[in-house]
Amino acid sequence: GEDVEQSLFLSVREGDSSVINCTYTDSSSTYLYWYKQEPGAGLQLLTYIFSNMDMKQDQRLTVLLNKKDKHLSLRIADTQTGDSAIYFCAERWAGRRALTFGSGTRLQVQP
């Protein structure tokens, strides 16, 4: 079975970079995702990476994938107070259309 793990909490100062980490166990993962959830709201897709890629950059967001170690990270440059939210990583593995989510990392950005 699949398992996705994240650290629960991260606190950074405004303007610093944030790095949120995620590990997964299923080597047949095809796509890996990062979602943002603000209080009381649904999930917003931030970015995703195909499993044969090592890195993907989209404006302030950089996703790094180490497939050998099954480690995924999301770096947010110049973190703002509006980035405070819960960030979920998720994987979709071959043969399954639904996503498996990690437990979420609560990012707190201090002014």
Partner 1 sequence: GAVVSQHPSWVICKSGTSVKIECRSLDFQATTMFWYRQFPKQSLMLMATSNEGSKATYEQGVEKDKFLINHASLTLSTLTVTSAHPEDSSFYICSARDRKKGQETQYFGPGTRLLVL
Q: In Å, how far are 1, 19, 72, 95 from 68, measured between CA atoms?
A: 18, 19, 11, 21
State the minimum distance, in angstroms, from the CB of residue 15 to partner 1: 28
Binding-site ranges for partner 1 (CB under 8 A): 30-31, 35, 40-45, 48, 50, 88, 92, 97-104
- For partner 1, which is the closer residue by CB, 69 or 98? 98
Helix (H, G, I), strand (E, B) or coil at 99: coil
Take residue 85 and report the two structure tokens written for it: 């939210």
Cβ–Cβ contacts within 10 Å for residue 3, how many? Answer: 11
State the minimum distance, in angstroms, from the CB of residue 45 to partner 1: 7
Give the angle 94-99-105 at the CA atoms, nearest 5°: 130
State the minimum distance, in angstroms, from the CB of residue 19 to partner 1: 20
Q: Residue written as tokens 């404006």?
A: 59
- For partner 1, which is the closer residue by CB, 1 or 111? 1
- For partner 1, which is the closer residue by CB, 46 or 64? 46
- For partner 1, which is the closer residue by CB, 86 or 109? 86
